[in-house]
Structure 1
Amino acid sequence: MKTIYFVRHGETNWNKEGRYQGITDIPLNEKGLAQAVACRDALANVHFDRIISSDLSRALVTAETIRGDRHIDIVTTSGLREVNFGDWETLTIDEIEEKWPGQIFEMYRRPEKIQLPNGESFEEVGERAWALLQAFIEAVEEDETILVTCHGGTIRTLICKLLHLPVSYSWNFSQGNTGINRIFYNGMGEDDHNILNLLNDTKHADVLDMK
């Protein structure tokens, strides 16, 4: 059995402002950096054998922070980037609703049916992210533990894939900044059974909000 930890990146200013950043490379803000440090401390006792990250800086810096003094190379890839929101990037929900009435809410209700204008569908995100991650997982020895740092939308589609759920369930899984998810991976065959053991654990980040 292999163990996969998925961690969403820390907060950015666009997260704070409610702007869709997608593949736009927005750095972590001060709070996001603090969240990454808190996440590092929460995972301090976990032995990671390999780390793979989206190449966008908000995910990569999160990965580097969690790695700490572990001597592990971080594999970076564009295949784990966030959903390409196309014409919606930089915009807020209200701005999107004004220009494309009803479409943003349709994306949340039926992500499998929406093709984002000049962007991606959730099906496309799931296919490209899973193709990349599957190849990485297959190259890993049994009983190894993998850290994957990327983005909320990407993680949602990967959880669906690993649990043999349609991508229409993507928004059923909350993903807060530096939320920790853990899956026990046994394979993708008909008789294999992957287990979602931990979902969106943000206790380490929630404590920061109370200070």
Structure 2
Amino acid sequence: MITLYLIRHGQTVWNSSGRYQGRTDVALSEKGIAQAEKTKERFRTVSLDGVISSPLKRAAHTARGIAQTHGLPLETDARLKELSFGDWEGKTYEEIEKIWPGMIEAMYHDAGTMKLPHGESFADCQKRCMEAISDIIKRGDNKTYAIVCHGAALRTIICGLIQIPLSRSWNLALSNASVSQVLIYPGDMNMLYMLNDTSHLGGLKSGS
């Protein structure tokens, strides 16, 4: 069995203002930094064999403390970057709806193939993310890894690991600095053991 802890980055200013981030390299807010510290403490007593992160600042900052606590190098993998929201990045739901009427709701109900304006589809994102996850799993059995990345990317990973259609990816709530856990078994018998746990954050919880 392999244990994967799937961790979403802490809050950014764009998270708090409802702006789509995607590949834009937005740093953690003060609250996000505090959430990252709480997440680091949560993993202090968890045995880890590796910490792998998206290279975007908000994820790498969240992951760095976890790696340092365990004396592990922080590995970054560009395949774990967030879904590219293309022209939507930096805009709110309302701003997107005004420029591209109906398109944002179509994305939320799409089977994963709809490409965003100058961006990716969920299927594109899942393909590269699952390649990264597959390489981690191939490192060997009886290992435990912390993987830190982004909301949409993590949704595609969870869907891929437990064979949920991408059309249901937005049914998975994933708050800032939340922890999910998937147990990897032979024969595609993977188990979603924990989803969106924010118990370590106390009063620092934020939305999905």
Report the secondary structure of 2:69's partner residue: coil
Deviation at 1:209, TM superposition (A): 5.4
Change (3 A) 1:193 1:209: closer
Partner of 2:154: 155
Deviation at 1:208, TM superposition (A): 2.5
Superposition pairs for residues 83-102 of structure 1, below 5 Å? 83-102=83-102
Q: Please say if residues 54 and 79 of structure 2, whose CA atoms lie closer than 8 Å, have aligned partners that are also in contact.
A: yes
Deviation at 1:206, TM superposition (A): 4.2
Deviation at 1:169, TM superposition (A): 1.5
CA RMSD after TM alignment? 1.4
Deviation at 1:113, TM superposition (A): 4.1
Report the secondary structure of 2:148's partner residue: strand
TM value normalised by structure 1: 0.93
Superposition pairs for residues 190-209 of structure 1, below 5 Å? 191-208=187-204
Deviations 1:21-51 (A, max 9, x none): 1000000010000001111122221111011
Partner of 2:108: 108
Q: Please say if residues 44 and 69 of structure 2, whose CA atoms lie closer than 8 Å, have aligned partners that are also in contact.
A: no
For residues 134 and 9 of structure 2, the distance between their equivalents in structure 1, rounded to whole angstroms, comes to: 21
2:29 is the counterpart of 1:29: yes
For residues 76 and 188 of structure 2, the distance between their equivalents in structure 1, rounded to whole angstroms, comes to: 28
Counterpart code for 2:96: I
Report the secondary structure of 2:204's partner residue: helix
For residues 192 and 26 of structure 1, the distance between their equivalents in structure 2, rounded to whole angstroms, comes to: 36
For residues 206 and 2 of structure 1, the distance between their equivalents in structure 2, rounded to whole angstroms, comes to: 29
Partner of 2:184: 185
Counterpart code for 2:194: L
Change (3 A) 1:206 1:96: farther
For residues 110 and 133 of structure 2, the distance between their equivalents in structure 1, rounded to whole angstroms, comes to: 24
For residues 173 and 111 of structure 2, the distance between their equivalents in structure 1, rounded to whole angstroms, comes to: 15
Runs ≥4 in structure 1, deviation > 6 angstroms? none
Counterpart code for 1:73: P
In the alignment of these two chains, the number of paired residues is 206
Change (3 A) 1:192 1:133: closer
For residues 119 and 204 of structure 2, the distance between their equivalents in structure 1, rounded to whole angstroms, comes to: 34
Counterpart code for 2:64: E
Partner of 1:173: 172
TM value normalised by structure 2: 0.95
- Unpaired segments ≥5 residues, structure 2: none
Superposition pairs for residues 33-112 of structure 1, below 5 Å? 33-112=33-112
